[in-house]
């Protein structure tokens, strides 16, 4: 513990003296902030998980795209002379970090993809500033809305532009009631534990147990509570989606869990004092996130884009706005 | 009159002394607030109309679902220690009251439907608080937006969840220009009077003359003006939709009228001093509501959900925001 | 110059003495404000271009519809006793001016079309007041959002109403990835100059070199910078869309340019002090507008309506909100 503290102190001294190390520190924190952690070690573990995830999906450049996007956004924030405390905490990096994972996941690896990642990263900083100003009356954070809005714009635009073509987007189609109940014969219990971690890895659009475990480890080095809420959110969403008899393949790959994971961390660890009331509120919020996930899947079907983390953003805004008095001042 | 007053006084004494009677009073007011009335007798008549409407449509459990939802929301509001004046006026009940009618109208009567109604009712209270906070800068009310947003979410989600399946939702489809003008041979005048009342009953998703008449009676015991504006709104919407040559079946069942009824009550009776200017403004608002109804019908066609009362909400917000100075303080 | 000044002085004296001339002056300014100019001569040139544009497209009544709409909105503003400084600058006319061009472009020329234009013009004034109030916390202008929202509502409604039927609306359809790269053999350079002007004429939904040149002339008599930014925006959007390999027919007719033209004028001439930073910011804003154009084209495809100038509105709001401190006080 004393040794961990002295490493931490050494790191702080280093980043104050050396601008390059500071830049690396801010970039790492940018990645960690995707799950609300202001911790460079968490960011390092997250980046490792992302490189691994890309490698496992045979898209090894995803890790580089994610790093590239986070660096571009961090540079943009430095150049724009933004409020330094937020900048140093990585709050201008996490949206670009997700842009950098999402665009190469859905679009073809063309030269213009990389130009588009750079543009999306710059605009994600502008969108973060814009949304922060937009939301200031309600004292809630922008969450991952800048990432979602910028990425939706680019993915929708990919339908019109041959030079950045979508290769893994859902086909635009009219929704029909899901009626295949044969999934009910699946042995949920056996699938249970790995699926929980797959759900957590889907926050970064991967579906891998190993990647999910590293994300949880990254959370744990920063906050045990955040790690526990992530697991709890994934589990509760899994149970809710199973009870509602959603398509089992989607449950299994974690598509009902990733937004719920973020909702659970946000609601569970944002409030000032843990209590029975906060616990019940978080449970309701996570269950409702599963409904929002199903709803947005249907609503976006005709335009052929994924929900990304918008179910988390919408559910969390809905639940945070009327409870600002329960939040600690510095989280507002 | 003196006798009516003394009954009213007796009721007030009763609900102050007896918590069960107070709870019943608040639940009834919750139902009455769907049409902006703070009156338990109006609520009682409305509930009677809803039970009758469900019975006439061979879905007799709709009345129970509506009562269940209003009770759950009222309980949630009591437990949440919300501002007591609003709570006692029924302002946390009316959105759930509509959720309780809408969900069993569109979804199959499965055990999870009732779980979903309970969840929707609880979330409708959270959404009411959230929207009230969101709208406070503009000093307009949330109207029925919490009901619409929660119900849209659940209806869209029903496409993905086998356990709460939609059985009366519009089929998701691409819109085409309406070109069947044969409806023009219909004798509008003969249909006229019953259709006006059917339009009013559609506020609660029924299409019944008898149900519409009871709603008007419920309004009249609270406010003659509200009853007159309801009839006027339904009539004007009927005439506008006929002039625009909409599908006659839709006009006839009241689908162009129900939002207009609410717009007419809201704009007509919200402003401080009735005047020629207010009258003209209300007429324009009601006519524009018919356009918004047609527009939302088209916009929602590809995602297979009904507009619910959103045309009323959008048109009324548009018309109220620039005229706040004309509203009495307690309506803002 | 001295002669121009004395004409200007004479005009000012005239409009202060004569209410009819003042009304004409305000109507002309209303048209000029579509491109942010408060100048009656600009408005006169714009109206000439619009009449010419309608004539060239064999829809000669478009000019009259545009004039009719601007007059109705100006009258509505006078009757509503709106803040006189804004009214006299034409700020309640420009949205109706665009409504008056858009509705006859997309809808059939029936008697109810003209009723709908009048209604749309009146509601555009209400929407302008409403949006101005809505946006006041963020100190950004409503831009052409009132026009877009009112026109979208009416165009969507035209699908449901036989009496105002759409004849030139895009067919509602599901988007597919654009894959025809044969357009790459087109000689961009030869097409270059005329296409720039066609792009500017598309602000008013025309695709004509002559009309575009008159618009630029109209801008130049009021502000050389505005004229230059219009040309620059059109050029940069043309280059961006070409680089992204959009459908060449759309590039050629100016569909990727018109919103970018408005973004360029708005961002380029709104900021206080022209600087390298403002120049870079405007370039990024214009390029991102092209992405938003492609995105909205895809998003609106299933509901069969055009984007109108919404890509400009969204991109400009996004870029203006975080930079209010760079704007002169009177533009906020």
What end-to-end distance do the CA atoms of chain B give, in Å? 31
User: Could you give phi then psi for residue A217, rounded to 5 degrees?
Assistant: -60, -45
User: How far A217 CA lies from chain B's nearest CA (Å)?
Assistant: 32
Look at B119 and A291 and tell me if their CB atoms are within 8 Å.
yes
- Contacts by A37-43, CB closer than 8 A, 24 or more apart: A37/A218, A37/A219, A37/A222, A37/A223, A37/A226, A38/A89, A38/A90, A38/A222, A39/A221, A39/A222, A40/A11, A41/A218, A41/A221, A41/A222, A42/A218, A42/A219, A42/A221, A42/A222, A43/A90, A43/A218
Backbone angles phi, psi at A3, to 5 degrees: -65, -40
**Å between B22 CA and nearest CA of chain C:** 38
pLDDT at B262: 97
Q: Which residues of chain C lie closer than 8 angstroms to B294, CB-CB? A: 156-161
pLDDT tens string, chain B, 332 residues long: the values are: 567 788 888 888 898 899 999 999 999 999 999 999 999 999 999 999 999 999 999 999 999 999 999 999 999 999 987 888 999 999 999 999 999 999 999 999 999 999 999 999 999 999 999 999 999 888 889 999 999 999 999 999 999 999 999 999 999 999 888 877 555 556 666 778 899 999 999 999 999 999 999 999 999 999 999 999 999 999 999 999 999 999 989 999 999 999 999 999 999 887 656 778 888 999 999 999 999 999 999 999 999 999 999 999 999 999 998 876 655 544 43
ipTM for the predicted complex comes to 0.94
Cα(C104)–Cα(C61) distance, integer angstroms = 8
Separation in Å, CA of A225 to nearest CA in chain C: 34
Distance CA C292, CA C276 (A): 24
Q: What is the pLDDT of residues B93-113, one digit of tens each?
A: 999 999 999 999 999 999 999
Alpha carbon distance B202, B219 (integer Å): 15
Which tokens go with A122? Answer: 């710059």
Residues of A with CB under 8 A from a CB of B: 137-138, 174-181, 241, 243-247, 284, 287-288, 291-299, 301-302, 317-319, 321-322
CA nearest B313: which of B135, B82, B117?
A: B135
CA distance B83 to B89: 11
- Output the pLDDT for position C192: 81
Query: Could you tell me what percent of chain B has a pLDDT over 70?
Result: 92
pLDDT at A189: 67
User: Which pair of tokens denotes residue C66?
Assistant: 């545009």
Q: Which of B49, B69, B45, B47 is nearest to B57 (CA)?
A: B49
Cβ neighbors of B18 (< 8 A, separation 6 or more) are none
Burial (Cβ within 10 Å: 0-12, 13-18, ≥19) of residue B217:
middle
CB contact under 8 A, B179 and C162: yes
All domains of chain A in start order, with CATH: 2-164 (1.10.3430.10), 181-331 (1.10.3430.10)
Q: How large a percentage of chain A has pLDDT more than 90? A: 78
DSSP string, A63-79: HHHHHHHHHHHHHHHHH
Residue with tokens 């449901």: C160
Nearest to C130 among B176, B302, B318 (CB): B318
pLDDT at A328 over 60: no
Residue of A147, A153, A300 to mutate, testing the C interface (most C Cβ within 10 Å of its Cβ):
A153
The backbone region for A161, taken as left when phi is positive above 0, alpha when psi lies in -120 to 50, beta otherwise, is beta
Chain C: closest CA distance from residue A106 (Å) = 13
Nearest to C81, CA basis, from B228, A177, A262, B322? B322
CA distance to B270, B290, B325, C145, C181, per residue, from B315 (Å): 14, 9, 18, 16, 44
Tell me the percentage of chain C whose pLDDT exceeds 90.
Answer: 77
Measured distance CA(A234)–CA(A260) in Å, rounded:
6
Residue of A132, A134, A166 lying closest to C177 (CB–CB): A166
Q: CA of C52: how far to CAs of C27, C194, C201, in Å?
A: 18, 17, 11
CA distance A97 to A36: 13
* Buried/exposed B47-84: b ≥16 CB within 10 Å, e otherwise: bbbbbbbbeebebeebbebbbbbbbbbbbbbbebebee
Q: For residues C331 and B133, give the distance between their C-alpha atoms in angstroms, rounded to a whole number.
A: 29
Residue A61: Cβ within 10 Å count? 14
| Tokens representing residue A114 in the block | 């990389």
The residue-averaged pLDDT of A186-201 equals 83
* Rounded distance between C-alpha atoms, residue B214 and residue B306, angstroms: 24
Lowest mean pLDDT among A124-133, C5-14, C33-42, C101-110: C5-14
Distance set, CA B264 to CA B36, B94, B232, C153 (Å): 11, 18, 7, 19
For A172, the closest chain B residue by CA position comes to: B302
Q: Which residues contact B264 (CB under 8 A, 6 or more apart)?
A: B229, B230, B232, B233, B234, B236, B282, B285, B286
pLDDT at res. A192 = 81
What is the number of H-type helices and E-type strands within chain A? 15, 0
Examine the pLDDT at A319 and tell me if it is beyond 60. Answer: yes
Closest CA to A230 of A279, A183, A263, A274: A263
In chain C, residues with a C-beta closer than 8 Å to the C-beta of A123 are 284, 288, 318
What 8-state DSSP symbol labels residue B307?
-
Report pLDDT digits (tens) over B311-322: 999 999 999 988
Distance from CA of B179 to the nearest CA of C (A): 6
Residue C20: φ, ψ to 5°: -65, -45
CA-CA distances (angstroms) from residue A280 to A264, A277, A284, B156?
11, 5, 6, 25
Distances (CA, A) of C159 to B142, C98, C156: 29, 21, 6
Residue C255 has pLDDT above 60, yes or no: yes
CB contact under 8 A, B180 and C162: yes
Q: Which two tokens stand for residue B55?
A: 């019975």
Q: Which residue of B has its CA nearest to A285?
A: B123
> Residue C323 and residue C332: Cα distance in Å, rounded?
11
> H or E element: which one contains A269?
helix A258-270
CA B329 remoteness from chain centre: 23
Helix (H, G, I), strand (E, B) or coil at C56: helix
Rounded-to-integer distance, Cα C237 and Cα C84, Å:
37
Nearest to A162 among C137, C181, C298 (CB): C181
C309 by Cβ neighbours in 10 Å (0-12 / 13-18 / 19+) ranks as: buried
Closest residue in A to C317 (Cα) is: A130
Give the position of tokens 């909702």.
Answer: A263
Cβ contacts of B128 within 8 Å, gap of 6 or more: B91, B92, B95, B142, B146
Please report the pLDDT score of residue B192 as a whole number.
81
Question: pLDDT by residue (tens digit) across A227-279?
Answer: 999 999 999 999 999 999 999 899 999 999 999 999 999 998 876 567 788 88
List chains adjacent to chain C, taking adjacency as at least 3 C-beta pairs closer than 8 Å: A, B
What pTM did the predictor assign?
A: 0.95
User: What percent of chain B shows pLDDT beyond 90?
Assistant: 78
Spell out which residues of chain A touch residue C296, defining contact as CB-CB under 8 Å: 156
CA distance A261 to C263: 38
When pLDDT is averaged across residues A135-141 and rounded to a whole number, the result is 89
Token pair of B203 as six digits: 């506020």
């Amino acid at each position: 513990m004393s040794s961990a503290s002295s490493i931490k102190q050494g790191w702080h001294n280093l980043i104050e003296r050396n601008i390059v190390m500071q830049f690396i520190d801010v970039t790492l924190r940018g990645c960690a902030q995707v799950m609300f952690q202001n911790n460079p070690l968490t960011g390092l573990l997250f980046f490792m998980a992302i490189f691994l995830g890309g490698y496992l999906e045979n898209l090894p450049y995803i890790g580089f795209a994610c790093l590239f996007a986070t660096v571009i956004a961090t540079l943009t924030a430095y150049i724009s002379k933004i409020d330094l405390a937020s900048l140093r905490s990585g709050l201008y990096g996490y949206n670009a970090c997700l842009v950098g994972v999402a665009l190469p996941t859905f679009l073809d690896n063309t030269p213009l993809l990389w130009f588009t990642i750079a543009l999306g990263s710059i605009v994600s900083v502008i969108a973060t500033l814009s949304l922060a100003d937009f939301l200031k009356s309600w004292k809630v954070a922008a969450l991952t809305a800048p990432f979602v809005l910028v990425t939706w714009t680019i993915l929708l635009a990919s339908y019109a532009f041959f030079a950045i073509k979508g290769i893994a987007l859902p086909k635009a189609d009219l929704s029909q009631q899901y009626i295949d109940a044969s999934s009910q014969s699946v042995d949920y219990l056996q699938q249970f534990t790995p699926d929980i971690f797959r759900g957590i890895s889907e926050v970064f659009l991967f579906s891998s147990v190993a990647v999910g475990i590293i994300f949880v480890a990254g959370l744990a080095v920063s906050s045990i509570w955040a790690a526990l809420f992530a697991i709890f959110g994934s589990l509760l969403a899994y149970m809710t989606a199973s009870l509602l008899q959603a398509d089992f393949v989607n449950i299994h790959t974690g598509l009902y869990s990733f937004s719920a994971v973020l909702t659970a961390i946000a609601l569970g660890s944002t409030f000032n004092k843990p209590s029975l009331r906060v616990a019940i509120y978080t449970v309701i919020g996570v269950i409702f996130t599963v409904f929002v996930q199903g709803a947005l899947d249907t609503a976006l079907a005709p335009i052929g884009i994924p929900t990304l983390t918008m179910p988390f953003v919408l559910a969390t805004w809905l639940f945070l706005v009327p409870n600002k008095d329960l939040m600690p001042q510095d989280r507002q």
